[in-house]
């Protein structure tokens, strides 16, 4: 019997997202990634005696944005606490965090479940805290190097309830978080650079039991795929322990990406004793209703809302609607196009097909696309009016129009002699030629093999070098073949 029948998997995720502010949470040091080590380290970052931190208003704004996007309750009376522990890359000997009053409480994140339907994952809280510096262990044989540039960078920690039930759901959840933080413009979501980091808490319990099992925590997994792999590995490992009649040790573990396994880094002490107390250097901060409402008013329409709108109001398929609401810039572009045409489906096809491919081939993002929505609509109309077929229009005209945005789609089509021929007398000549060339096929067709029509249309298109209007050709062929 496999573990699937015996145990329920329960997962809680803690995601740290580095906020995309220019400066640190409590001082003006730059947060830029990749600077020379230890160059953005003022006395405040270094925790020198006598220095006074000051809260970054933008970081507070960003945390609230995320909270509102996740339907959290926003805490009005906030304070920062000192979480005391020693770590070489924590110069003050404490981390400034939030303790009993996280800025955002509760809330939900909607994810796609294993059967394709959607469900809300319950959040416990989102709180603000500062990041530590970086210990680099592999630069020197004897010493650990410390870079304090990252120390003091603002983070939000997004903590779920134990409300995720498979590795795939965890994957979907982190994907959703990354999409949301990018959408809101509060974090670049770049996991390789450590802007988004995930700790996964995993436990198993006997199927149907309502008591949670002992958890293990896999720290700092640095890609979404690895979150899934780490959980898959842990589930197998925990199941084997339980199967052997042993009990699980509460443990902190780390993921080894070189072989997709995890290893223990420490046994979790019974209760952490961080000696939290309110930071006496930072005044508690009160958020007014107006401050919060102003942030709410500035929030962009959220991806889930857009997806629903695309399906319900524009009649797009769930797949297209989802793809178009993956990224704010793409949906903005699509929205502009829909103000210029009613053919929403065609607009979606163009953006998700040839345009996306062209951008990919040229390593560009949609923000860098020089084809303004008006120009895309010109292309779309050429196809809609039967002047050029879609494949010719997207492969030949679109690239030229992108490069030459002063021209028009029609002018390019004319200059390349690509306009479809819908003049029947010219089409009739090609049709007769094809009929004469394939007497056997004509007989087969006339005996009932109607599927051959596609072959004849294809031959006419070939003769016309792609310019014959396929709709008219089909009509004319059907008539000609009846004789």
Binding residue count for ligand ADP, defined by CB under 6 A = 15
Shortest Å, Cβ 163 to ligand ADP: 7
Could you tell me if 139 and 36 are in contact, meaning their C-beta atoms sit under 8 angstroms apart? no
Q: 159 or 477: whose CB is closer to ligand ADP?
A: 159
Q: 29 or 199: whose CB is closer to ligand ADP?
A: 199
Shortest Å, Cβ 200 to ligand ADP: 8
Q: 10 or 468: whose CB is closer to ligand ADP?
A: 10
Q: 182 or 215: whose CB is closer to ligand ADP?
A: 215
Q: 201 or 394: whose CB is closer to ligand ADP?
A: 201
Q: Is 288 helix (H, G, I), strand (E, B) or coil?
A: coil
Applying CB under 6 A, does 253 fall inside the site for ligand ADP?
no
126 binds, among Mg ion, ligand ADP, none (CB under 5 to 8 A by kind): none
Strands (E), 268-360: 277-278, 285-286
Distances (CA, A) of 53 to 85, 93, 103, 106, 126: 19, 15, 19, 29, 22
Closest CA to 222 of 188, 194, 200: 194
Could you tell me if 230 and 200 are in contact, meaning their C-beta atoms sit under 8 angstroms apart? yes
If you search the block for the tokens 């199927």, which residue do you land on? 207
Among 31, 45, 97, 160, binds ligand ADP (CB under 6 A): 160
- Structure tokens that stand for 307 in this block: 């997806």
Q: Within 10 A of 249 (CB to CB), how many other CB atoms are there?
A: 11
Among 7, 8, 10, 197, binds ligand ADP (CB under 6 A): 10
Tell me the C-alpha distance between 480 and 447, whole Å.
Answer: 15
Report how far Cα 16 is from the mean position of its chain's Cα atoms: 16
161 binds, among Mg ion, ligand ADP, none (CB under 5 to 8 A by kind): ligand ADP
If you search the block for the tokens 């860098």, which residue do you land on? 368
Judged by CB under 6 A, which stretch of 35-43, 155-163, 243-251, 292-300 contacts ligand ADP? 155-163
- Dihedral (C-alpha) 330, 335, 337, 338: value to the nearest 10 degrees? 140
With vertex at residue 313, the alpha carbon angle to CA 312 and CA 315, rounded to the nearest 5 degrees, is 70
Shortest Å, Cβ 162 to ligand ADP: 4
If you search the block for the tokens 């979501």, which residue do you land on? 189
Q: 14 or 281: whose CB is closer to Mg ion?
A: 14
Distance from the first to the final alpha carbon of the chain: 69
DSSP 354: I
Q: Give residues 202-241 in contact with ligand ADP (rule: CB under 6 A).
A: 202-203, 212-213, 215
203 binds, among Mg ion, ligand ADP, none (CB under 5 to 8 A by kind): ligand ADP
Shortest Å, Cβ 133 to Mg ion: 19
Cβ neighbors of 28 (< 8 A, separation 6 or more) are 42
Cβ neighbors of 103 (< 8 A, separation 6 or more) are 60, 63, 64, 67, 74, 75, 78, 126, 127, 128
Could you tell me if 98 and 80 are in contact, meaning their C-beta atoms sit under 8 angstroms apart? yes
- How crowded is the C-beta side of 45, counted as CA atoms within 13 Å? 25
Applying CB under 6 A, does 14 fall inside the site for ligand ADP?
yes
Q: 10 or 355: whose CB is closer to ligand ADP?
A: 10
11 binds, among ligand ADP, Mg ion, none (CB under 5 to 8 A by kind): ligand ADP
Cβ neighbors of 7 (< 8 A, separation 6 or more) are 204, 205, 206, 207, 238, 239, 242
Could you tell me if 237 and 231 are in contact, meaning their C-beta atoms sit under 8 angstroms apart? no
Q: 250 or 341: whose CB is closer to Mg ion?
A: 250
Judged by CB under 6 A, which stretch of 108-116, 158-166, 312-320, 436-444 contacts ligand ADP? 158-166
Q: 199 or 279: whose CB is closer to Mg ion?
A: 199
Nearest residue to ligand ADP, using CB? 12
Judged by CB under 6 A, which stretch of 16-24, 159-167, 227-235, 456-464 contacts ligand ADP? 159-167
Applying CB under 6 A, does 420 fall inside the site for ligand ADP?
no
Q: Within 10 A of 452 (CB to CB), how many other CB atoms are there?
A: 17
Tell me the C-alpha distance between 2 and 14, whole Å.
Answer: 28
Q: 277 or 319: whose CB is closer to ligand ADP?
A: 277
Applying CB under 6 A, does 12 fall inside the site for ligand ADP?
yes
Q: 12 or 152: whose CB is closer to Mg ion?
A: 12
User: Containing H/E element for 328?
Assistant: helix 328-338
DSSP 393: I
Among 31, 97, 98, 201, binds ligand ADP (CB under 6 A): 201
Q: Give residues 161-200 in contact with ligand ADP (rule: CB under 6 A).
A: 161-162
Q: Give residues 10-49 in contact with Mg ion (rule: CB under 5 A).
A: 14
Judged by CB under 6 A, which stretch of 10-18, 48-56, 86-94, 382-390 contacts ligand ADP? 10-18
Among 11, 59, 347, 412, binds ligand ADP (CB under 6 A): 11
Applying CB under 6 A, does 326 fall inside the site for ligand ADP?
no
Residues forming contacts to ligand ADP in the complex (CB under 6 A) are: 10-14, 159-162, 201-203, 212-213, 215
Residues forming contacts to Mg ion in the complex (CB under 5 A) are: 14
């Amino acid at each position: 019997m496999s573990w699937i029948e015996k145990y329920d998997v329960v997962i809680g995720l803690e995601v740290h997202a580095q906020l995309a502010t220019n400066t640190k949470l409590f001082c003006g040091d730059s947060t830029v990634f990749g600077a020379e080590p230890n160059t953005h380290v003022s006395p405040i970052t270094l925790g020198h005696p006598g220095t006074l931190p000051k809260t970054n208003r933008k970081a507070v704004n960003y945390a609230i944005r995320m909270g509102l996007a996740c339907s959290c309750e926003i805490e009005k009376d906030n304070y920062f606490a000192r979480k005391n522990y020693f770590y070489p890359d924590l110069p003050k000997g404490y981390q400034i965090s939030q303790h009993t009053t996280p800025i955002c409480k509760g809330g939900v994140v909607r994810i796609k479940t294993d059967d394709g339907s959607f469900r809300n994952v319950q959040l416990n809280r989102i709180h603000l805290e500062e990041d530590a510096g970086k210990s680099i262990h592999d630069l020197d044989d004897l010493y650990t190097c410390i870079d304090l540039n990252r120390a003091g960078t603002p983070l939000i920690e997004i903590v779920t309830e134990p409300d995720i039930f498979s590795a795939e759901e965890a994957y979907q959840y982190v994907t959703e978080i990354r999409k949301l933080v990018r959408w809101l413009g509060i974090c670049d979501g770049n996991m390789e650079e450590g802007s988004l980091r995930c700790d996964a808490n995993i436990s198993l319990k006997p199927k149907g039991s309502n008591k949670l099992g002992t958890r293990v925590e896999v720290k700092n997994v640095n890609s979404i795929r690895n979150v899934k792999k780490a959980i898959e590995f842990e589930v197998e490992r925990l199941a084997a322990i339980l199967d052997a009649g042993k009990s699980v040790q509460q443990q902190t573990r780390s993921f080894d990406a070189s072989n997709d396994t995890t290893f223990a880094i420490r046994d979790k002490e019974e209760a952490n004793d961080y000696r939290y107390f309110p930071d006496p250097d930072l005044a508690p901060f009160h958020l007014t209703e107006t401050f919060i409402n102003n942030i709410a008013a500035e929030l962009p329409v959220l991806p889930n809302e857009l997806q629903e709108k695309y399906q319900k109001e524009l009649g797009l398929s769930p797949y297209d609607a989802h793809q178009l609401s993956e990224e704010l810039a793409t949906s903005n572009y699509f929205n502009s196009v829909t103000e210029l045409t009613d053919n929403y489906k065609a607009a979606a096809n163009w953006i998700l097909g040839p345009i996306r491919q062209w951008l990919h081939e040229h390593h560009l993002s949609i923000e860098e696309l020089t084809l303004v929505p008006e120009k895309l609509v010109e292309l779309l109309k050429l196809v809609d009016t039967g002047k050029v077929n879609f494949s010719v229009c997207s492969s030949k005209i679109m690239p030229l129009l992108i490069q030459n945005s002063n021209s028009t789609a029609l002018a390019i089509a004319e200059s390349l002699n690509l306009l479809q021929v819908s003049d029947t007398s010219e089409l009739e000549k090609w049709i007769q030629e094809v009929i004469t060339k394939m007497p056997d096929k004509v007989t087969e067709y006339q005996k009932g093999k109607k599927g051959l029509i596609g072959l004849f249309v294809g031959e006419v298109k070939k003769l016309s070098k792609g310019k014959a209007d396929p709709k008219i050709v089909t009509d004319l062929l059907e008539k000609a073949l009846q004789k």
